Amino acid sequence: MEKTVKPESIFVQIDGRWNIEGTRAVYLGPNERPGSDPYGICLVPTRFRSGVISATVSLKDRSVSARLVVGYNAATGAYYSVGIGGYDYAYLIDEYYPGRGWRPIQATGASSEIRTEKPQAIDVAVAGQRVSLSVDGVRVLEKSVPSPLQGDQVGLFAWGQQEVVFGDFTVQGDNPRIFVVMKFGEPYDSLYRDVIRPVSDKLDFEAYRADEVYRPGVILEDIKQGIIKSDVVVADITGSNPNVFYELGFADAMKKPTILLANRSMEKLPFDISGYRVVFYDDTIRGAAEIMSTLEKHLESIRRWSGAD
């Protein structure tokens, strides 16, 4: 599923002074309130978690920044911004949280390398927690941010006292991804094929396991990347497989939304996950119907939270 913002009046000003005409937005400077930080933010109505957001940017000098906002949370005001300029670097990803301010997550290149006057095309690709920045088609930055996006709004960010011009803003959203963690072989393959995949398809999630994506052979780093790039993890903990629990621990460290599945034959849950909500299932036709219904409800809840609709 792909969503693209159409060229119409799409921006809503949050901070700073702007001149907006369709997909073109010009940052004119900060708010005129005494003591205001010199920055501006505009947001668009399209909900976004994974995909690509793009714009052209023109900077008058190297004292300003032009970035794209992802994961803006209207309740807290927290967000990530990705783009050109800041902290004396050319390209960066940073995080803002009210009360804590801004902090760089990843940065590269000296600010003296920033091109001015001439428009530059910037593309920010988001896959779960993996964020990359391309400038004029060249990937200059890639990093896994420390936590899933806290919100589902995107837009523009500018810093400085000088004019910054943004144009051709577009958003292309992808379906949310589910990374499935389980033992391979029966009966797990049937659970994946006959239950998890059909429910995921019904709700427009893209479900996949490591053995479907990373070939030949599955190594630990591939699995980590699958978890990082997912929006939610579904893990079957039946049998207390050490590999499954390692991967579950990694998902927990990444603060990834996780749904646990377990066969009712498990007599006792391991202590470390006793606080998790677990969906139990039976190896019966009725059991399959019940787990499909319960899994669907969990994914619908996550989908509403993620803003994928």
Beta bridge partners of 263: 281
Percent of the chain with pLDDT over 90: 59
The per-residue pLDDT for 112 is: 92
One of 3.40.50.2300, 3.40.50.720, 2.40.10.10, 2.60.120.560 is the CATH number of 3-173, namely 2.60.120.560
**Spatial CB neighbours of 161, under 8 Å, sequence gap ≥ 6:** 29, 30, 38, 63, 64
Tens digit of each residue's pLDDT (9 = 90 or more) over 39-93 = 999 999 888 889 999 999 999 899 999 999 999 999 999 999 999 999 999 999 9
216 CB-contact burial (10 Å; exposed 0-12 / middle 13-18 / buried 19+)? exposed
* CB neighbourhood size of 54 (10 A): 17
| Type of residue at 71 | G
Say if residues 241 and 217 touch (Cβ distance below 8 Å): no
For the chain, give the number of residues.
309
The Cα angle at residue 155 between residues 53 and 175, in degrees rounded to 5: 45
- Strand 130-135 to 120-127 pairing: antiparallel
Q: CA 87 to CA 85: how far, in whole Å?
A: 7
124 CB-contact burial (10 Å; exposed 0-12 / middle 13-18 / buried 19+)? buried
Tens digit of each residue's pLDDT (9 = 90 or more) over 252-275 = 999 998 999 988 877 666 666 666
Percent of the chain with pLDDT over 70: 88
Residues of the chain with pLDDT under 50: 1, 7-8, 307-309
The per-residue pLDDT for 7 is: 44
Domain ranges of the chain: 3-173, 177-306
One of 1.20.1260.10, 3.40.50.450, 3.40.50.10490, 3.40.50.300 is the CATH number of 177-306, namely 3.40.50.450
Which three-class secondary structure state does DSSP give residue 21? strand
